[in-house]
Structure 1
Amino acid sequence: MDLFLFAGIYKASLKDQLANFATSLGKSSGLGITPQKPPSWQDAFLQLENYLESPLLNEKKGKQVVFIDELPWLNTPRSKFLPALEHFWNSYGSRQKKLILVVCGSAASWMIQNIVLSRGGLHNRLTRQIRLLPFSLSETEEFLKKRKIKLTRFQIVELYMAFGGVPYYLKQAEPGMSVAQIIDSTCFTKNGILSYEFEKLFTSLFEESHFHTKIVELLARKTKGITRNELLNETKISSGGTASRTLNELEESGFISIG
């Protein structure tokens, strides 16, 4: 398997993103040569096509994988990244039996609207969606055991109720710490990673994140689920496209379940 790995840079300029692309392409070639920085994304994907068609790769058997991480960060204003990606896939990638294109990004709102529910050039092009949901309770127990964290099952439930099954949060647990110590150091100390996580997380994941925040804060105060109309009335969010999109994004991201 041949892999081209490329990741967007947060808040980087178009010039820097394209330079990073050229560097990544040079590393993938294994020749120690960085190609000339492309002037546009259209040219960047043409370079990628030429790389994938090179005799060195075509002599090999197996799949070719193009893995693009943090896709939303590449779609900077006036960059024309998304149209270039659409053109690359529709005119070239979709015709290559050996090629697998994997795209992902932490900005859930952008990924859902522009890739999963795309109405443009990538409409119905998605062949498989990988939803990276939090660990289940049993997976959390297994994860902690692998990290040599010795807790009783009751304590694991306590930790799970506080952190959910998010591996990054669970990694804050260190051997020898009690559940109270883990929660205190993670949530209530000045440098605890969860001290300001709520505000930062929703802002990074969603556009118009204040709607998502309102809904999650309301549901956190409830002891059981509520109807859509009750939720919209209490949050003062108008019924319509914004409400439907917000609820869909929260469900796709694993924050809520709609029954």
Structure 2
Amino acid sequence: MFVGRKEELDLLEDQYKSSDFHFTVIYGRRRIGKTELIRQYIRDKNAVYYMATETSGEKNLEMLSKLVLEYSGTEFRFNGFSDFEALFDYLTEISKKERLVFVLDEFPYLAAAYPGISSLIQKYCDHNWRNTRLHLILCGSSMSFMENQVLGMKSPLYGRRTMQIRLKAFSFFETETFLAPMKKEDIALLHCATGGVAEYLSYVDKRKTLDENLTALFFTTSGRMYEEPVSFLKQELREPGAYNAILEVIAGGARKNNEIATKVQKSTGAINNYLDNLIELGILLKEKPIGEMTSRKTIYRISDGSFRFWYRYVFQNRSAIEIGLGDRLYQEQVKKDLPNFMGEGFEEIFLDYFDRMNRKGSLPVLITARGRWWGNNPKLKREEEIDVVGFGRAAAVLCEVKWTNRKIGMEVIDHLMEKSALFDAAEKYFILFSKNGFTKKAMETAVKSGRIQLISFMED
């Protein structure tokens, strides 16, 4: 079942409807759903789709030749086209007569096998294809390659694309559609445990309970997620052992550069490259309090929910899982800790709500910047945290997010309003996002205030 990606599909369709040449770059981490998006887009169109492989340039040319000749109805000749230039000339003639989508998926593999391919595509973009009806799509999972060697200023292809799409994980709303009719609370937990990654969500069996799914995916040696993060790191990075150590200590609570370095027994300078690589892959997030200009308060946290879950619960318990204790481990240790795991994940779900409200104009003001905030309260001489703060023109929206079975009462509202004194905005508004609703007093206060908005996740 294909769900979501409406915005991306609409963008691609807009380019297809034009009679002009278009060049789209689609990229994003592995498993995120790039190929499925492309397949959905070309399902009713004239298209040549080729996924490059880690083989020689000659073999890639041979396989691509076969697809192009099959598309055109020409009998396949064993050697195919003599070179990529001859193949591109052939596509040029076809696309002068008809709208044609030409997809090179896993483009980094083709570029490694045939280093001149980017310069050749540049030549055809600048000259041969300008007056055709070709829609060229280059797609890749190697984030650094796509950003530097395709989109970067030093790339031969720089400035040639007419659109780029960096595909990200599903929003909670897309996951909810994908996993319906499962219970909303279970969907939220599965969304956070998989990071909203499309392929990981496809492993969920909607006929099973939450406990059965998490156990089957993460806590059995045959589980689809049991070795996934380690396999992902091995595919993308050298020294996976060093990255394992770093992610384990961050999952365990280390946040600052010096804390991480101390726990993995490396210098702060030595771990910077590792941290940067994890950030580039979308696994790690480097974060400062919203509005903070200096780097003094910079922290690191795991932004990918599947990595956060795996390094919190699986990594250090693999020996127990290997000998068949995964089910007991989940029932006796993991299950009762899930509310703690969901603290950060539920904040990310709220951001999907917050951004949707902002797009629809249902927030009190237009928000142009938002993020987490933490810092010192000089009046009370203590550290404070606010889950989400959004800034608009002379206004701030302060938000508290609670994943708890109890209803949220006035003490949480009062504390949030107290913390608002730390901000100088002329207008201040408040949003509270609760898993299980609010007390009667809290709801009455919100109605009277006019500046407090209460959102109950389970009742939404």
TM-score (norm 1): 0.76
Residue 96 (structure 2) aligned to one of 58, 67, 92: 58
* Higher normalized contact order (CA 8 Å, seq sep 6+, divided by chain length): 1
How much does 1:219 deviate? 3.5
Once the two structures are superposed, the pairs formed by residues 1-259 of structure 1 within 5 Å of their partners are: 2-9=46-53, 11-34=54-77, 36-39=79-82, 43-54=83-94, 57-60=95-98, 63-76=99-112, 79-93=115-129, 95-96=130-131, 98-145=133-180, 150-206=181-237, 216-222=247-253, 226=255, 230=258, 233=261, 236=267, 238=269, 242=273, 246=277, 249-250=280-281, 253=282, 255-256=284-285, 258=287
TM superposition shift of 1:114: 1.0
1:108: how far off? Answer: 2.3
User: Could you say if the C-alpha distance between residues 120 and 256 of structure 1 is closer, same or farther in structure 2, counting changes exceeding 3 Å?
Assistant: same
Of stretches 209-218 and 155-164 in structure 1, the one that deviates more from structure 2 is 209-218
- List alignment gaps of at least 5 residues for structure 2: 1-44, 289-460
Native 8 Å contact 2:69 2:76 kept in 1? yes
| CA shift digits 1:204-241 (9 cap, x unpaired) | 24567677656544432338xx56x5578556463899
The RMSD of aligned alpha carbons is 3.3
- Could you tell me how far 1:182 is from its partner in structure 2? 0.7
Q: d(CA) in 2 for partners of 1:199 and 1:231? A: 23
Percent identity at matched positions? 22
The 3 A distance-change label for structure 1 pair 48 and 34 is farther
Shift of 1:156: 1.6
User: Which stretch shifts more, 186-195 or 234-243?
Assistant: 234-243
Q: Is contact 1:45–1:88 with CA below 8 Å preserved after alignment?
A: no
8 Å CA contact retained: 1:86, 1:122: yes
Instruction: Name the CA distance, whole Å, in 2 between partners of 1:165 and 1:156.
Output: 10
| Offset at residue 23 of structure 1 (A) | 0.9
Structure 2 contact 96–132 (Cα < 8 Å) conserved = no
Q: CA deviation at 1:103?
A: 0.6
DSSP-derived class of the 2:49 partner: strand
Residues 185/232 of structure 1: CA separation in 2 closer, same or farther (3 Å cut): closer
Q: Secondary structure at the match of 2:85?
A: helix
Q: Is the 8 A contact 1:6 1:69 kept in 2?
A: yes
Secondary structure of residue in 2 paired with 1:129 = strand
Farther off after superposition, 99-108 or 79-88: 79-88
Hey, what's the Cα distance between the residues in 1 that align with 2:245 and 2:66? 42
- In structure 1, runs of 5+ residues without a counterpart are none
> How far does residue 243 in structure 1 lie from its aligned partner after superposition?
6.4
Task: Write the deviation string for residues 83-141 of structure 1: whole angstroms up to 9, x where unpaired.
Answer: 33333334433x23533221111222322221122513122333322122111222211
- Count residues in correspondence: 241
- Provide the C-alpha distance between the structure 1 equivalents of 2:234 and 2:142, rounded to a whole number of angstroms: 9
Equivalent pair of 2:61/2:81 in contact (CA under 8 Å): yes
CA distance in 2, matches of 1:45, 1:210: 43
Q: 1:25 touches 1:48 (CA, 8 Å); kept in 2?
A: no
Q: Contact 1:2 / 1:65 at 8 angstroms: preserved in 2?
A: yes
2:164 is paired with a residue of what secondary structure? Answer: coil
Q: Is the 8 A contact 2:261 2:267 kept in 1?
A: yes
Contact 1:108 1:205 in 2 (8 A): no
CA distance in 1 between counterparts of 2:122 and 2:244 reads: 32
The offset of 1:162, in angstroms, is 1.4
Say if 2:279 and 2:286, in contact at 8 Å, map to a contact too: no
1:183-217 CA distance string (max 9 Å, x none): 11111222211121112112324567677656544
Q: Which has the larger radius of gyration?
A: 2
The CA deviation at 1:171 is 1.6
State the alpha-carbon separation in 1 of the partners of residues 161 and 241 from structure 2: 29
**Counterpart residue identity of residue 125, structure 1:** R
Aligned partner of residue 46 in structure 1, secondary structure: helix
Determine helix, strand or coil for the equivalent of 2:166: coil
Q: Is the 8 A contact 1:71 1:103 kept in 2?
A: yes
Contact 1:212 1:246 in 2 (8 A): no
> What amino acid is aligned across from residue 68 of structure 2 in structure 1?
L
Could you tell me whether the CA contact under 8 Å between 1:186 and 1:194 is conserved in 2?
yes
